[in-house]
Amino acid sequence: MEDFELLRREKRRRKAKLKFFCLDVPNVPDFNKEGLADGFDVNNSCYPSRLVKSTWGDDYDIALYGRLGLHCHNFQKGTNFKFVRWEKFSVISTAYDYVYVTLDAKDPVSDSVFSFQTLLNEDSSSDCPVMWSTLACRIKCDDRVDDHWDDTAVDDFYKGAMPKWLSDEELARDNKKYYVVRIRSSGNDWLHLFTEIAFFSKTNNVKWARDHKAIIRKTMDGKPGHMYLKL
């Protein structure tokens, strides 16, 4: 509530400043009182606040963010929700990009389609590992998101440098490694998803296709809806 109160105070300050300079200030409704979720349904990071419109697009990266959110929910809740299509998204950029995605998901058990929300934080650059953090994954509601990642709850073992891919010679010498090869069971959809995420991160903005190798490390901080991938 403190963050929303600070935001409201800042809006009042800006509005008063605009009135002082005799500028026309539109009468903007308080979206927070209309059952709309901050970030997903309304963008409160700008002034005046703006509704996030439904576009029903087919951008691959937005679909990938949505599918990762569904995987996080399925993993933590034991569900088997499937991605149908994304409805809308908004991006709030600070030091990182926060992508709020609203999508249609399907429950195979009840054969029902419903609205689902997921928040993804992306931190990547050309000289650093790709880092995706899912900070919310839930059936649509207007509750406030806990977007604070609790790094103190993560074991130190998972905070070190990423391991490097072993050479063919090292793999041939060591027979104690474990592999998953050509698994087609629907219960292992996450393998295909993680492969797509790795391939997307390696080939985004690259003109020529080629083979790639990638290591993905998944960690959690114990909070519902939180999952962290580092590539």
Residues 26 and 81 reside in one and the same domain: no
Q: What's the whole-number average pLDDT of the chain?
A: 81
Mean pLDDT of 130-143: 94
CA separation for the pair 40, 51 (Å, rounded): 9
Mean pLDDT of 54-83: 96
- Out of 51, 74, 89, pick the residue that ends a domain: 51
Residues 40 and 66 reside in one and the same domain: no
What is the number of domains present in the chain? 2
**Given the structure tokens 């429950």, which residue do they identify?**
107
Residues 84 and 123 reside in one and the same domain: yes
Residues 107 and 128 reside in one and the same domain: yes
Which of these ranges, 111-120, 130-139, 212-221, has the smallest mean pLDDT?
Answer: 212-221
Residues 110 and 170 reside in one and the same domain: yes
Q: Per residue in 166-214, pLDDT tens?
A: 777 777 776 666 555 555 555 678 888 998 998 888 777 666 667 778 8
Report residue 206 as tokens: 């690259």
- E-only strand ranges, the chain: 42-43, 50-51, 82-93, 97-107, 112-125, 128-139, 217-219, 227-230
For residue 49, the model assigns a pLDDT of: 83
Domain range for residue 20? 2-51
For residue 25, the model assigns a pLDDT of: 37
Report residue 165 as tokens: 């891919």
